[in-house]
């Protein structure tokens, strides 16, 4: 039987292995020179003034919430369809989470739903967390316009979107947001195994992010409450965490980032082949990309005509060891969030439609044309009887 195919997978070559080995042979496995270099490389890639590395995307989102001052009793609004970490970060700070419906064709936060929620709001949220689903950038200009009017901070959950652009600006430049969070989990555009990065424009925000990521400690004498000339002196000024990235991981990140253009080009070629295969097909269609967004295609998201068709495709591929995934069960459906807010699902027609119809097909740089042809043929074969019925 052919080897199993998953919806996503890392691409590791000898340059990555050599980069990690170099750190292993050095004196410092963590808190050495590689983390700073990776931060600089990523900041320059996304054209952001500041980049702060952290141990994963979840930690990055938590740091963003803490550094923006989100605390007990605040309200944070989150796009309804995402990985649970997009909402959990606000809960870690004690905030109440409310969900904003999505547009099921793009998978991203619906501007109309946000407008309606703002118009009816008794009080405005302290922050809005938007998610660039599958790498498709949200309409950030419209979101920023709505949020600026009410002084709502914007966090971009860009865990899927390293390499994406919006109006030709790289996602991560924070042109329309306070900060932007990336994940380097193995299925993402580049990997450091576990890892994350936060980018921002404000120097003071960057300072707070760094401090929270390393126990709340400041090594900058200008910030100390009790000036001290001892060379070993440092101050813990707030309660922080150990959310640091190691040098081993940063070295891998640097090597991966050097090859990002190749990764993106291969992902885009795979998506084009899916698009060509499904053009004119009434039972499956590809995710609709937002105007002025150029996706990094972390996911190959399709919308099926109904949940039965989706189940058939999932099953037929699964029988051949090809494993798709659903991104995502709407977060408000999770028992943890249901017990917090008595949610009525019909309040989120966009997220419910996505939940019924969406599926992520395999996409990663080393997926071969033969493997993709197999996937496409299996889908066509599965859809064949239903297409005849619908004609
Ligand atoms: C949209 C989104 N946000 C946040 C995260 C959390 O990232 P990490 O796994 O690096 O903690 C993920 C990870 O899969 C994600 O997909």
Assess whether the C-beta atom of 185 lies below 6 angstroms from ligand 1.
Answer: yes
CATH number of 260-390: 3.90.1150.10
Q: Assess whether the C-beta atom of 159 lies below 6 angstroms from ligand 1.
A: yes
* Domains 5-258 and 260-390 belong to one CATH topology: no
Whole-number pLDDT of residue 2: 78
Q: Both tokens of residue 176? A: 């329309």
Q: Tokens in use for 2? A: 């052919």
Read off the pLDDT band of 388 (50, 70, 90): confident
Q: Is the C-beta atom of 56 inside 6 A of ligand 1? A: yes
Index of the ligand 1 atom closest to the CA of residue 188: 14
- Return the sign of the alpha-carbon dihedral for residues 368, 369, 372, 373: negative
| pLDDT tier at 341, thresholds 50, 70, 90 | confident
Question: How many angstroms is it from 157 CA to the middle of ligand 1?
Answer: 8
Ligand 1 pocket, residue 85 CB under 6 Å: yes
pLDDT range class, residue 26, cuts 50, 70, 90: very high
pLDDT digits (tens, 9 = 90+) for 1-15: 678 999 999 999 999
**Domain limits, the chain:** 5-258, 260-390
Residue 79 Cβ inside 6 Å of ligand 1? The answer reads: no
Interatomic CA distance for residues 357 and 74, integer angstroms = 34
Q: Does pLDDT of 389 surpass 80?
A: no
CB 131 less than 6 A from any atom of ligand 1: yes
Say how far apart CA 61 and CA 65 lie, in whole Å: 6
Instruction: Give yes or no for residue 214 CB within 6 A of ligand 1.
Output: no
Whether 202 shows a pLDDT value over 80: the answer reads yes
Task: Could you please state the CATH topology (level 3) that the domain comprising 5-258 is classified under.
Answer: 3.40.640
Nearest ligand 1 atom, CA 133:
1
pLDDT, residue 390, reads: 61
Taking residues 161-167, report their average pLDDT: 98
Distance 51 CA to ligand 1 centre (A): 18
Tell me which H or E stretch contains 218.
Answer: strand 217-218
- Please determine, for residue 103, whether its predicted confidence score (pLDDT) is greater than 80: yes
Looking at residue 1, what is its pLDDT?
67
Q: Pick 143 or 342 by higher pLDDT.
A: 143
> Could you give the CA distance from residue 154 to residue 140 in angstroms, rounded to a whole number?
10
Residues 300-337: tens digit of each pLDDT: 999 999 999 999 999 999 999 999 999 999 999 999 99
């Amino acid at each position: 039987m052919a080897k199993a195919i998953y919806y996503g997978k890392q691409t590791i070559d000898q340059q990555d292995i050599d980069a990690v080995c170099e750190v292993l042979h050095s004196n410092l496995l963590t808190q050495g020179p590689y983390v700073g270099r990776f931060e600089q490389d990523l900041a320059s890639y996304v054209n952001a003034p500041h980049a702060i590395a952290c141990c994963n995307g979840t930690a990055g989102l938590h740091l963003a919430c803490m550094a923006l001052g989100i605390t007990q009793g605040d309200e944070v609004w989150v796009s309804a369809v995402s990985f649970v970490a997009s909402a959990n970060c606000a809960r870690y700070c004690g905030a109440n989470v409310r969900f904003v419906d999505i547009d099921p064709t793009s998978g991203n936060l619906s501007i109309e739903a946000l407008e309606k929620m703002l118009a009816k709001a008794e009080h405005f949220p302290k922050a809005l967390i938007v998610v660039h689903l599958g790498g498709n950038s949200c309409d950030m200009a419209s979101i920023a316009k709505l949020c600026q009017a009410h002084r709502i901070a914007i966090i971009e959950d860009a865990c899927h979107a390293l390499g994406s652009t919006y109006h030709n600006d790289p996602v991560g430049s924070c042109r329309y947001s306070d900060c932007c969070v990336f994940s380097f989990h193995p299925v993402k555009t580049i990997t450091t195994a576990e890892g994350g990065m936060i980018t921002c424009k404000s120097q003071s925000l960057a300072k707070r992010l760094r401090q929270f990521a390393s126990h709340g400690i400041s090594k900058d004498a200008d910030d100390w409450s009790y000036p001290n000339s001892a060379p070993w002196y440092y101050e813990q000024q707030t309660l922080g965490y150990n959310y640091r990235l190691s040098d081993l991981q940063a070295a891998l990140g640097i090597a991966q980032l050097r090859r990002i253009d190749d990764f993106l080009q291969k992902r885009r070629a795979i998506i084009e082949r899916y698009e060509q295969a499904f053009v004119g097909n009434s039972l499956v269609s590809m995710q609709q990309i937002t105007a002025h967004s150029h996706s990094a295609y972390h996911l190959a998201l399709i919308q099926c005509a109904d949940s039965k068709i989706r189940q058939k495709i999932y099953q037929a591929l699964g029988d051949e060891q090809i494993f798709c995934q659903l991104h995502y069960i709407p977060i408000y459906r999770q028992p943890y969030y249901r017990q917090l807010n008595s949610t009525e699902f019909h309040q989120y027609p966009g997220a419910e439609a996505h939940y019924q119809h969406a599926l992520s097909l395999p996409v990663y740089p080393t997926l071969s044309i033969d493997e993709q042809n197999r996937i496409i043929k299996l889908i066509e074969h599965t859809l064949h009887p239903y297409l005849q019925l619908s004609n």
